[in-house]
Amino acid sequence: MKQKKKVQEVEPKRPVDTYFEELDANFQDPTNRMIQIIFLPLLFFGVMGCIWMIPFPQFEFLVKLNWHTFLNWGSFFIAVVIYFYLKLSATLSYAILFSIGAMSYFIVQLEYVQKNGGPAVIWVCLAIALLALAALYIGKGKEKKAISGKQFLQFLLIGPIWLWHFVFRKFNIRY
């Protein structure tokens, strides 16, 4: 009787795994990791809020349907971001969609504050984005290994789902 050898199938490495490995290798400092956890979502929120507030053409048929409040440049930004993340990892893109929903709620709340005489949403979001970008740049300097500008930009693009992948790994959820 012949014994069958078990052949272990190795899954091909996905682009998202390659990005995460590169980010893990380049961002090791614990202080910088804490900075990333706090300021990456704030940067995303600030950028999304700034894009959201860019004036969008008011089409009469949208105003009649009362859809003009939901269609803005932020809607297009969200669609592009979700599509980009969906191509990398469908499961992680759903988590980002959840995050974007929460951030959208807060941007709308800022719009109400602005309508009641508060500060302009664009300036609040711009200040948040610049503060977060500065903090992330300072955190980058804490790394032992020098990080190129290209790696830093890649980190800013991939960073939001990279943070979510830690949550998924913690709960043993496949992404």
Residue 149's pLDDT band (cuts 50, 70, 90): confident
More confident residue, 164 or 22: 164
Residue 15 inside a domain? The answer is no
pLDDT at 25: 86
Residue 11 lies in a domain: no
Count of residues in the chain = 175
Q: Which pTM does this prediction carry?
A: 0.85
Rounded Cα gap, residues 88 and 14, in angstroms: 8
For residue 96, the tally of other CB atoms under 10 A from its CB is 21
Nearest in space to 50 (alpha carbons), one of 110, 10, 138, 112: 110
Q: Torsion over CA of 25, 95, 40 and 73, rounded to 10 degrees? A: 130
On whether residue 12 sits in a domain, the answer given is no
Helix, strand or coil for residue 156? Answer: helix
| Phi-psi domain of 117 (left: phi exceeds 0; alpha: psi -120 through 50; beta: other) | left
Question: In which domain, by residue range, is 117 found?
Answer: 31-170
Query: Can you give the pLDDT at residue 67?
Result: 58
105 within domain boundaries: yes
Mean pLDDT of the chain: 88
Q: Is 18 among the domain residues? A: no
Q: Is it the case that residue 34 has pLDDT exceeding 90?
A: yes
Q: Is residue 89 assigned to a domain?
A: yes
The model's pLDDT over 57-98, given as tens digits with 9 standing for 90+, comes to: 776 766 666 655 667 899 999 999 999 999 999 999 999 999
Whether 1 shows a pLDDT value over 60: the answer reads no
How many domains does the chain fold into?
A: 1
**5 falls within a domain:** no
Residue 132 in domain: yes
Tokens of 162: 């990279």
pLDDT, one tens digit per residue, over 97-114 is 999 999 999 999 999 999
Residue pair 93/81 in contact (Cβ under 8 Å)? The answer is: no
